[in-house]
Amino acid sequence: MGAAIDTGGGDKKSVNIELNIVPYIDLMSCLTAFLLVVAVWVNLAQITIQPKGKNRNQPIDTVIDPPPVISVLIQADIIYVGVSRLAIDPVQIKKGPNADYDWNQFENALIALKKEEAFAERNDIEIAAESTTAAPVKYDHVVHAMDLAVKVGFIGVGLSEPTSLSWRPTL
Protein backbone atom coordinates (compact mmCIF):
# COMPACT_ATOMS: atom_id res chain seq x y z
CA MET A 1 0.00 0.00 0.00
CA GLY A 2 1.39 3.34 -0.93
CA ALA A 3 0.52 6.88 0.04
CA ALA A 4 1.12 10.11 -1.80
CA ILE A 5 3.21 12.47 0.32
CA ASP A 6 2.53 16.12 0.03
CA THR A 7 5.75 18.02 0.19
CA GLY A 8 4.07 21.43 0.03
CA GLY A 9 4.46 23.12 3.43
CA GLY A 10 0.92 22.95 4.82
CA ASP A 11 -0.51 21.49 8.00
CA LYS A 12 -2.80 19.17 6.15
CA LYS A 13 -1.80 15.68 5.25
CA SER A 14 -2.61 14.31 1.86
CA VAL A 15 -5.59 11.96 1.56
CA ASN A 16 -4.51 10.38 -1.71
CA ILE A 17 -3.76 6.72 -1.03
CA GLU A 18 -2.97 4.11 -3.65
CA LEU A 19 -4.26 0.64 -2.66
CA ASN A 20 -2.55 -2.47 -3.93
CA ILE A 21 -5.58 -4.61 -4.87
CA VAL A 22 -3.67 -7.51 -6.48
CA PRO A 23 -3.82 -9.69 -3.31
CA TYR A 24 -7.58 -9.11 -3.06
CA ILE A 25 -8.07 -10.11 -6.68
CA ASP A 26 -6.01 -13.28 -6.08
CA LEU A 27 -8.09 -14.12 -3.02
CA MET A 28 -11.39 -13.55 -4.85
CA SER A 29 -10.33 -15.66 -7.84
CA CYS A 30 -9.40 -18.55 -5.52
CA LEU A 31 -12.69 -18.25 -3.65
CA THR A 32 -14.64 -18.15 -6.91
CA ALA A 33 -12.96 -21.32 -8.16
CA PHE A 34 -13.62 -23.01 -4.81
CA LEU A 35 -17.27 -21.92 -4.91
CA LEU A 36 -17.76 -23.34 -8.42
CA VAL A 37 -16.17 -26.67 -7.51
CA VAL A 38 -18.23 -27.03 -4.34
CA ALA A 39 -21.46 -26.07 -6.12
CA VAL A 40 -20.95 -28.76 -8.77
CA TRP A 41 -19.86 -31.34 -6.20
CA VAL A 42 -22.92 -30.75 -4.02
CA ASN A 43 -25.22 -31.38 -6.98
CA LEU A 44 -23.37 -34.54 -8.05
CA ALA A 45 -22.81 -36.07 -4.63
CA GLN A 46 -26.32 -35.97 -3.24
CA ILE A 47 -27.98 -39.22 -2.25
CA THR A 48 -31.66 -39.80 -2.81
CA ILE A 49 -33.00 -41.53 0.27
CA GLN A 50 -36.39 -43.13 0.51
CA PRO A 51 -37.19 -43.75 4.15
CA LYS A 52 -38.44 -47.19 5.03
CA GLY A 53 -40.80 -48.12 7.77
CA LYS A 54 -44.09 -46.70 8.84
CA ASN A 55 -45.26 -43.24 7.99
CA ARG A 56 -46.39 -41.18 10.95
CA ASN A 57 -49.57 -40.30 9.04
CA GLN A 58 -50.38 -43.98 8.46
CA PRO A 59 -53.30 -45.28 10.49
CA ILE A 60 -52.27 -47.40 13.43
CA ASP A 61 -54.80 -50.14 12.76
CA THR A 62 -53.21 -50.97 9.38
CA VAL A 63 -51.26 -54.17 9.87
CA ILE A 64 -48.97 -55.24 7.08
CA ASP A 65 -48.39 -58.97 6.97
CA PRO A 66 -44.80 -59.92 6.27
CA PRO A 67 -44.32 -61.80 3.01
CA PRO A 68 -43.66 -65.54 3.04
CA VAL A 69 -40.03 -66.56 3.29
CA ILE A 70 -38.26 -69.66 1.99
CA SER A 71 -36.10 -71.23 4.70
CA VAL A 72 -33.46 -73.89 4.15
CA LEU A 73 -32.07 -75.74 7.16
CA ILE A 74 -29.02 -77.90 6.51
CA GLN A 75 -28.27 -80.56 9.10
CA ALA A 76 -25.66 -83.29 9.05
CA ASP A 77 -27.95 -85.90 7.53
CA ILE A 78 -30.91 -84.00 6.02
CA ILE A 79 -31.86 -80.72 4.35
CA TYR A 80 -35.23 -79.13 5.06
CA VAL A 81 -36.79 -76.68 2.62
CA GLY A 82 -39.87 -74.95 3.98
CA VAL A 83 -41.95 -71.81 3.53
CA SER A 84 -43.33 -69.60 6.27
CA ARG A 85 -46.91 -68.28 6.11
CA LEU A 86 -47.99 -70.53 3.19
CA ALA A 87 -49.54 -73.97 3.15
CA ILE A 88 -46.75 -75.56 1.13
CA ASP A 89 -45.49 -78.93 2.25
CA PRO A 90 -41.84 -78.86 3.34
CA VAL A 91 -39.31 -80.89 1.40
CA GLN A 92 -36.86 -83.23 3.15
CA ILE A 93 -33.71 -84.20 1.31
CA LYS A 94 -31.79 -86.99 3.02
CA LYS A 95 -28.24 -88.05 2.38
CA GLY A 96 -27.87 -90.88 -0.06
CA PRO A 97 -25.72 -93.98 0.17
CA ASN A 98 -22.74 -92.06 -1.24
CA ALA A 99 -22.81 -89.77 1.86
CA ASP A 100 -23.95 -86.76 -0.17
CA TYR A 101 -27.26 -84.94 -0.48
CA ASP A 102 -29.47 -85.28 -3.53
CA TRP A 103 -28.66 -81.87 -4.97
CA ASN A 104 -30.93 -82.41 -7.99
CA GLN A 105 -33.89 -82.84 -5.66
CA PHE A 106 -32.84 -79.70 -3.79
CA GLU A 107 -32.58 -77.71 -7.03
CA ASN A 108 -35.95 -79.03 -8.25
CA ALA A 109 -37.57 -78.02 -4.95
CA LEU A 110 -36.22 -74.48 -5.33
CA ILE A 111 -37.35 -74.32 -8.98
CA ALA A 112 -40.85 -75.39 -7.92
CA LEU A 113 -40.93 -72.69 -5.24
CA LYS A 114 -39.67 -70.06 -7.70
CA LYS A 115 -42.64 -70.89 -9.94
CA GLU A 116 -45.07 -70.15 -7.09
CA GLU A 117 -46.92 -66.86 -7.40
CA ALA A 118 -45.58 -65.58 -4.08
CA PHE A 119 -41.95 -66.01 -5.15
CA ALA A 120 -42.06 -65.30 -8.89
CA GLU A 121 -40.92 -61.69 -8.47
CA ARG A 122 -38.89 -62.13 -5.31
CA ASN A 123 -35.29 -63.21 -4.99
CA ASP A 124 -34.70 -63.69 -1.26
CA ILE A 125 -34.09 -66.93 0.59
CA GLU A 126 -32.58 -67.73 3.98
CA ILE A 127 -30.20 -70.62 4.57
CA ALA A 128 -28.92 -71.91 7.91
CA ALA A 129 -26.69 -74.77 8.96
CA GLU A 130 -27.35 -76.57 12.23
CA SER A 131 -24.24 -78.42 13.25
CA THR A 132 -23.25 -80.35 16.34
CA THR A 133 -19.90 -81.68 17.44
CA ALA A 134 -21.10 -85.23 16.84
CA ALA A 135 -22.56 -84.43 13.42
CA PRO A 136 -20.95 -81.39 11.78
CA VAL A 137 -22.22 -79.80 8.58
CA LYS A 138 -19.57 -79.27 5.94
CA TYR A 139 -18.96 -75.75 4.73
CA ASP A 140 -18.94 -77.03 1.14
CA HIS A 141 -22.55 -78.17 1.53
CA VAL A 142 -23.67 -74.74 2.71
CA VAL A 143 -21.86 -73.01 -0.16
CA HIS A 144 -23.22 -75.52 -2.68
CA ALA A 145 -26.78 -74.89 -1.42
CA MET A 146 -26.21 -71.14 -1.79
CA ASP A 147 -24.82 -71.58 -5.31
CA LEU A 148 -27.85 -73.62 -6.35
CA ALA A 149 -30.21 -71.02 -4.89
CA VAL A 150 -28.49 -68.29 -6.91
CA LYS A 151 -28.59 -70.50 -10.01
CA VAL A 152 -32.35 -70.92 -9.65
CA GLY A 153 -32.88 -67.16 -9.33
CA PHE A 154 -32.76 -66.40 -5.62
CA ILE A 155 -30.05 -63.76 -5.77
CA GLY A 156 -30.70 -62.43 -2.26
CA VAL A 157 -29.31 -65.43 -0.39
CA GLY A 158 -28.85 -64.82 3.30
CA LEU A 159 -27.01 -66.96 5.82
CA SER A 160 -28.97 -67.01 9.06
CA GLU A 161 -28.75 -68.39 12.54
CA PRO A 162 -30.71 -71.66 12.71
CA THR A 163 -32.88 -70.40 15.56
CA SER A 164 -33.87 -67.25 13.67
CA LEU A 165 -35.26 -68.93 10.55
CA SER A 166 -38.76 -67.91 9.57
CA TRP A 167 -39.72 -71.55 9.16
CA ARG A 168 -38.34 -74.43 11.20
CA PRO A 169 -39.21 -78.11 10.94
CA THR A 170 -41.15 -79.60 13.80
CA LEU A 171 -39.27 -82.66 14.92
Assess contact for 107 and 115: CB atoms under 8 A: no
Residues 75 and 115 in one domain: yes
Domain count, the chain: 2
Count CB-CB contacts under 10 A for residue 21: 10
Strands 91-94, 124-129: parallel, antiparallel or unpaired by DSSP?
unpaired
Residues 77 and 125 in one domain: yes
For residue 121, give its domain range: 70-164
Dump strand ranges (E) for 28-83: 70-74, 78-83
Distance, CA of 169 to CA of 73 (rounded, Å): 8
Residues 92 and 31 in one domain: no
Residues 19 and 86 in one domain: no
pLDDT at 55: 62
Residues 144 and 89 in one domain: yes
At 43-83, the pLDDT tens digits run: 765 555 555 555 666 666 666 778 899 999 999 999 999 99
